[in-house]
Amino acid sequence: MKIYKYSLLLAVLFSTFTLSAQNEDFRKTAPESLPAKPIKMGESNSFTLDNGLQVIVVQNHKIPKISYKLFIDIPSVFEGDKMGYTSIMGSLIKQGATTMSKAEIDEEVDMLGARYYTSASGFFASSLRKHSDQLMQMVASTFFNPTFPQAEFDRSIKQTLSGLSTQKDDPRAMSSNISSVMTYGKNHPYGELETEETVKNITRQDCIDFYNKYFKPNISYLIIVGDITLEEAKQKSEMYFGSWKADKSLSFEKIAKPTAPTNRRVVFVPKSEAVQSIIKFVYPVDLEPADEDNLNAIVMNKILGSGSVSTRLNANLREDKGYTYGAYSRLRASKEIGSFSAGASVRNDVTVESIKEFLHEFNTLRDTLVPMDELKSTKAVYAGRFAQGLEKPETVAQYALNIKRNGLDAEHYNTFLQRLEKVDAASIQKAARKFIKPNEVIITVVGDPSLVDSLKQFTTSGEVEIMDMYGNEIKE
């Protein structure tokens, strides 16, 4: 009997040990992911008013709120020697109307506990459902009848000039300016800069003319989100926007796309006694939202320097080298012209080494396949954030607008996870070779003048171009 019990105990111990070992082996291998399923996004409905205004409605009855966003789809306009007038125009729309003064508008918004702001591309207004009609009556009566009061115009010009004066000694503003000019050129709307001279040239009539010419329903979208039914949305849209007059003769000047650099340049903006250098790598790219390889390019850029602190640029320049608090990259798709940029603020004494590390990461992404675990991790984070975003009705509305504006397939977002699953290492490398151009790039540096000679090694010509923050050459 004792032998039997001893044998049984050994059998139990052996079985437990075996199961434990099996469990440990099981933990070492992550389970295979199941195939991605199509996403069923929140429902959106759309219709068009007789005046051409396209309306998108996303219902959300969980919270008794309604928001109205009017988006006027105006292509980029070159403002020239009056650069800044469209921005000023947009801010002035709610500063007074034929029906209400600025003070009355502000008082109405405050009394309703609402939000209301205007811009060069339309307006946004939101409130509780019970106040929605009162808010929209005020918005419709003022937005379509602005007076652009002279006193408010003068105040806006003064504030803009004050802001510009503070930028002259701000390294970040200097870097932003020179990078825009170098990416797009001074003759492109994305590259022209607001200066004290251009702002002083702006007149109140410029604002009135722009508003009268471009604020038309047949190039606009109205996005309604919240506690409203489709029938109510149709009724309200017609009530508040149905009398808005269309202009079918409206046309836009075609602006030439900027050309990408054919070699590597360094443009230096001197900032005396600067303790840090602001480095940027910039150039335009031909990439539109509807392009077939856009998703591959997005994932590639997330690996390089966008979306999280664990990107390659951050891992290298921040975590490993300690050169900066953060390094990033951005790849922007646009119907007009896309762009790539990457950069960081670094200590003066590591400026040269930082540029070398950026170029190293660019070349590595082009020359070697991304490891499977890194690719899986990046895709998982991206998929999670995409799914999380779908919980917001505003996201559903924005996606519906993207589909209409950018010519995307109607199922573009519903099939997102399935398309993301197909992005592999070869796709990433192909996108990197197409969009990452370490030898065809403009490197802008804002920093201490003592750095100039050390930067010559990075240029194809062997010379550093020295400019002011507006892209004007500084002659020695």
Same domain for 95 and 56? Answer: yes
Same domain for 282 and 233? Answer: no
Same domain for 416 and 286? Answer: yes
Same domain for 225 and 299? Answer: no
Task: Indicate whether this model's pTM tops 0.85.
Answer: yes
Beta strand 54-59 pairing with 45-48 = antiparallel
Q: Residue 76 maps to which CATH number? A: 3.30.830.10
Same domain for 218 and 358? Answer: no
Residue 279 and residue 443 in contact, taking contact as beta carbons nearer than 8 Å: yes
**Of 277, 240, 282, the residue nearest 142 (C-alpha):** 240
Residue 6, in any domain of the structure: no
Task: Kindly compute the dihedral angle of the four CA atoms of residues 318, 321, 323, 329, in this order, to the nearest 10 degrees.
Answer: -50
pLDDT at 255: 87
- The tens place of each residue's pLDDT in the chain, 476 residues long, gives 444 445 544 444 455 555 555 555 555 555 555 555 556 666 899 999 999 999 999 999 999 999 999 999 999 999 999 999 999 999 999 999 999 999 999 999 999 999 999 999 999 999 999 999 999 999 999 999 999 999 999 999 999 999 999 998 999 999 999 999 999 999 999 999 999 999 999 999 999 999 999 999 999 999 999 999 999 999 999 999 999 999 999 988 888 899 999 999 999 999 998 999 999 999 999 999 999 999 999 999 999 999 788 899 999 999 999 999 999 999 999 999 999 999 999 999 999 999 999 999 999 999 999 999 999 999 999 999 998 888 889 999 999 999 999 999 999 999 999 999 999 999 999 999 999 999 999 999 999 999 999 999 999 999 999 999 999 999 86
d(CA 291, CA 285): 12
Read off φ and ψ for residue 263, nearest 5 degrees.
Answer: -150, -175
d(CA 289, CA 128): 34
Axis crossing angle, helix 230-241 with helix 129-143, rounded to the nearest 10: 30
DSSP state of 318: I
Total domain count for the chain? 2
pLDDT at 307: 76
Beta strand 338-347 pairing with 327-332 = antiparallel
Residue 225, in any domain of the structure: yes
Same domain for 231 and 278? Answer: no
Residue 303 and residue 43 in contact, taking contact as beta carbons nearer than 8 Å: no
Instruction: Give the structural domain span for 181.
Output: 45-241
d(CA 346, CA 322): 9
Q: Among the three residues 201, 225, 241, which one is the final residue of a domain in this structure?
A: 241
Same domain for 204 and 329? Answer: no
Place of tokens 């790039």: 441
DSSP class per residue in 205-240? HHHHHHHHHH--GGGEEEEEEES--HHHHHHHHHHH
pLDDT at 12: 45
Residue 24, in any domain of the structure: no
**Of 224, 305, 195, 297, the residue nearest 54 (C-alpha):** 224
Residue 17, in any domain of the structure: no
Residue 23, in any domain of the structure: no
Residue 433, in any domain of the structure: yes
Same domain for 96 and 179? Answer: yes
CA 196 to each of CA 161, 177, 330: distance values in angstroms, whole numbers, following the listed order:
6, 14, 29
Q: Among the three residues 191, 207, 241, which one is the final residue of a domain in this structure?
A: 241
Same domain for 87 and 164? Answer: yes
Same domain for 178 and 131? Answer: yes
Rg (the chain; Cα; Å): 28
Query: How far is CA 332 from its chain centroid?
Result: 7
pLDDT at 217: 98
Same domain for 153 and 274? Answer: no
Same domain for 271 and 135? Answer: no
Residue 246, in any domain of the structure: no
Sign of CA dihedral 374, 380, 381, 386: positive
Residue 12, in any domain of the structure: no
